Amino acid sequence: MVGGSDMYRQQILDHYKSPRNYGEMEDPTFTHVGENPMCGDTIEMQVRLDDDEEEIEYVAFQGDGCAISQASASMLSEKLQGTTIEELHEMDRDDVVDMLGVDISPMRIKCAVLAEKVAQDGADIYFGELDVDKTTTEDDE
Instruction: Kindly report, residue by residue over 45-86, the tens digit of the pLDDT.
Output: 999 999 999 999 999 999 999 999 999 999 999 999 999 999
Q: What is the distance of C-alpha 16 from the center of its chain?
A: 13
Q: What does the pLDDT average to over 111-122?
A: 98
**What is the model's pLDDT at position 140?**
66
Lateral strand order in the sheet of 135-136: 56-64, 41-49, 30-36, 135-136
Asked whether residue 1 carries a pLDDT value surpassing 70, the answer given is no
Q: What does the pLDDT average to over 20-27?
A: 97
Report the alpha-carbon distance of residue 61 to residue 54 in Å, rounded.
20
Q: Which of 126, 118, 106 lies closest to 41 in space, CA to CA?
A: 118
Instruction: Kindly report, residue by residue over 87-116, the tens digit of the pLDDT.
Output: 999 999 999 999 999 989 998 999 999 999
Return all residues near 37 (Cβ < 8 A) that are at least 6 apart. 136, 137, 138
